[in-house]
Each structure stands twice: as C-alpha cells, then as structure tokens.
Structure 1
Amino acid sequence: MNFLLETLRLIVLTIYYHIEAFIKVIVPQRKKDVSGEIVLITGAGSGIGRLMALEFALLDVSLVLWDINVDGLKETAKQVKEKGASRVHYYHCDCSDREVVYRVADQTYKAFLPAMTDKNHGHLVSVASSAGLIGVNGLADYCASKFAAVGFAESVALEMIAAGKEGIKTTIVCPYFINTGMFAGCGTKWPRLMPILEPDYVAKRIVNAILKDQVYVLLPRSLYFLMALKG
C-alpha cells in the first residue's frame, strides 16, 4: 500500500512541477528585492565574477568579494563603488584551501549552509558548465569535474527541499564557452546554434536568474533543446 501511495505521490508531484515550470516559461516572473542582502562573489577579481559584482552594485546590496588576485579585487571594488555600491568588502581568499576559506569568513557551502538553514533564508549559486550536462570528446577530466559540480548543487537543492527549507533557493548555471581568457582560441562549429558567449551577457543572465529564483540557467538557450534530445 505504501508503495502505491508513494508512486501516486511521485506522479502527482511530477505533473505539478512540470505544470509549474511551463507556467514560469510563459508568465513573466516578478524579480525579488535583494536590497540589504549580503552577496558573496568568489572569483570577483576579474571576468564573470567582476561583471556580476557590477550588476549587483546597482541593487543596494552589501558586496563581499573574494579572489586570489588582490590587485584584481581592488580594481573590482573601485569599479563597483563608482557604480554606486556603498557597502563593499574584499578579501584575498584561495577557495581551493579550506582553512583559508574558514579563516576569511564562515562561508562557502559547508560553512554557509548551517547559518542559512537556521534562518531558512539564502540563495546558493553554482556556476558550472555545459560540460557538466553533456560529455565532450577530449574533455573527460573537465567534464567529470563539472558533472560533479552540477550533481553536488542538485543534491544540496533537494536536501533543502526535503528539510522543508523553502526559503533557501538554488541556481545552477551551465554556460557554453565564454569569451574570456580561459577559453582564448576556442571556436565553435555551430556559431548560430552554439555561439561563443559574451561575458557581460552571461553575468546579466545569472543575476536575472537569481532575482527570479530560477533553478537552472543553460546558455545559450539552445542547450535546453539539446538536453531534451539527450533525454
């Protein structure tokens, strides 16, 4: 009997979430107000991290910027202040060193999550890659790390739902190649279907997704179609 009830519950929830997702696609979602919130951005010394900081600078948040590049952090802090941000703090932090992370602040997933769950409030954003969704020839090690990042973020999101922590939102970002130094020299066989993405566009899409509590951000949009074909 329990098996039948659980199966029925699964079917009902699946239908419900599909309908909810469809409605969110066709009905514009209101953006949440993040003024006064604390926004921590890792890798804020350059690239997408800096561009996201510049976007958030317009939203009256307290910015906490982390990077291993101190000069880059100083430049980002200068730029966000010029954009109007009044509460800006930056710290040298090597996010690959757990002891450094804990010493700089009580942060990252492991260190942040207990405080978030206590307050049932927060938003976790993981920037992974399209290589975390689809295997790529010649990129086995890179794909493995990105699949792990996506799987970890999805698992944390499900744990929050199971724990009844509906106030903690998650966003998982999976972009294709971005026109930054990391992908210098990379090309694409299908520029119309899978174009090289511009950093400013990616940063704006990420911030917009956070404000709308969007769970997945696949860039470019054609990735949604490719994922459907994969399924």
Structure 2
Amino acid sequence: MAEEPQVIYVLRIIFEIIWMILRLNLEIIKALFRVVVPQDRKDVTGDIVLVTGAGHGMGREIATRFGKLGAKVVCVDINSKGNEETVSLIKKNKGEAYAYICDVTDRAAVMQLAEKVEKDVGQVDILVNNAGIMPCKPVLKQTEKEIRATMEINVNGNLWMIQAFLPAMLDRNSGHIVAMSSMAGKMGLRNLVPYCGSKYAVRGIMESLAVELHEDPRNTNGIKFTTICPYIVNTGLCHNPRIRFEAVMKTVDPGDAADQIVDAVLREYHEITIPSDMYYSNKVFNLFPPSAGMILTDFIGTGLDPHE
C-alpha cells in the first residue's frame, strides 16, 4: 500500500480538528440548553428496576419511589427482613415488587441472581447499584476486615452486578446503570480514607465503562449511565456529622435525596451531586493548589467525626 502523501495527511488532520471543534461546540450548546430546559422525564411504567441495598436507607427510599411510578421493582439485599419490609411498602402502595436475597460481594451468587431475576421477572431495564457500607474512623484504626468489606461491597459489588446485567442490555441496546458514589468520591475526608477510595473507584468505574461502550463497535447508544454523588444524607450511616455552617451545608433528608436521584435517572443525567450546587463548587475547589484547598477545608469545617 502506497504511503499517504504528507500534504494529504496534513489536510486530513486539519479537517479532523475543524470537525472536532464543531462537534465540541454543538455539545456545549446542547448542554447549556439542557441547563435552562431540562430533558423530559422518561416513563418507567412496566420497566424492571433492580435496587441493591433495598432493605433500608437510600435503597428503600429509591425502591419505593420507583414502585409509585409503576415500575416493577426488584429489591435485593443481604438482610431478608428489611428487604421484605421494603417490598411490603411498595405493594401497600399498589406497586409491584419482588424480594431477592444476595450478597453482592459473591460473584457466583450475583450471576445466579441475574439468571433468576430474568426467569422470574424479566430483563432488568434500570440497575441501581446502591449497596454500600461506611466505616468511619481514622485509617490506622480501621481493621483489615472493615477495609476489605468496604472494598468488596462498595467496589467489587458494583463490578459483579455490571458483569451480570450489562450483557442483556448490550444484546438489546437498551438499559440504564446507576451508581451511588458520594461527595466523598470527589474530595478526601477525614475518618473516611477507605470509603473515599471506594467511592472514587465507583466514579472511575462508571466513567471508564461509558468510554468502553462508546468505543465498542456495536451500537450502544441506548445504554445510559448515571452517577450519584450525595453529600451527608441522614440515613443512619452518618452518626457524627460535623457541620460548621448548618444554614448553608445542612444534612440532606433521605426523602429529598431519593427524589433528586430518581429525577436524575428519569432525565438520564450523567452525574449529579446532592445538593446540586456542589457540582460546580467542587469544580472551583479543584482549581486551587492542594495547600490552598486545605485552608478552604479548615474554614468550611465540614466532615464526619469517628464512630464505632
């Protein structure tokens, strides 16, 4: 094959640069437009929504809201009692729900779960990877068991669920994967070193998964991704929140957080923070050098004190 003439190569690169700039500007305009005019909420009536960690806290709040919207909710938790309570709440509100017990750290069990759910209920349309734990103490006081459990549940649990449910989404080019990261996945916080690491990992998983599917030769445009980064939500995990300016940075009510999470999924947002203004304030914070960031952190005085 003859080598491409240098002048043709240069012209081709110039054309690609111009085309890239035009496409970038179009996407920026579309994003700005969506800030003013949000995307319409999609209808999930009859869709199968699977929520891990559905037996309590945010998982329960999210599951019950999807139930009210007419979705078939698959509640997954390792705690059978709490999980059944969530299912009962959904059914009490005329919703349709199913309970499955599964340890998301057990890959074989997760694969069996996927087969059973598809057989019993159908193929999952929306996967909400919510299950997680949050040991809160200085890193040198966290036990090996606590650190391993944090990584197994918060990180590997996401990966096993993706491996189990993504193939069917790829086959039909349709689906939505939702991951619960945290503001602790955007900034480091005292007493949460392993937890922060796990939530940074969740964001990395979601970002790289989106890139991987974008570069897949198959058409994968029908598969959506949403990463949720909440601030301190009053679900019981945060026993000792420390907030200097409570009027500005108060803890978030679980119900309010769940409303924003479900809304983000229905509008197919790529990533949100709760509260929403933290999305932009965090970007500004990251413009500062690390030493200046520490000064801001000291002034804001927000975080979590250790607890057992």
Counterpart residue number, 2:112: 103
Give 1:3 deviation, angstroms: 4.6
Q: Taking structure 1 as reference, are residues 3 and 136 closer, same or farther at Cα in structure 2, changes over 3 Å only?
A: farther
Q: Deviations over 1:96-147 (max 9, x none)?
A: 1111111222482011111101101000000110111122244332221111
2:208 to 149, 155, 160: 155
Distance 1:29 1:228 in 2: 23
Counterpart residue number, 2:192: 139
Counterpart residue number, 1:193: 248
Counterpart residue number, 1:114: 167
Aligned-residue CA RMSD (Å):
1.8
Counterpart residue number, 1:34: 44
TM-score, structure 2 as length reference: 0.70
- Equivalent position SS for 1:170: strand
TM-score, structure 1 as length reference: 0.92
Matched, 1:16 2:29: no
- Equivalent position SS for 2:38: coil
Q: Taking structure 1 as reference, are residues 138 and 71 closer, same or farther at Cα in structure 2, changes over 3 Å only?
A: closer
Q: Percent identity over the alignment? A: 37
Distance 1:190 1:174 in 2: 20
> Gapped runs of 5+ residues in structure 1?
none
> Gapped runs of 5+ residues in structure 2?
1-9, 116-159, 288-308
Counterpart residue number, 1:93: 102
Instruction: Count matched residues.
Output: 230
1:44 to 51, 54, 65: 54
1:219 to 265, 270, 274: 274
Q: How does 1:65-104 map to 2 (within 5 A)?
A: 65-85=75-95, 87-104=96-113
Q: Deviations over 1:170-206 (max 9, x none)?
A: 1100011110111012122232333211111111111
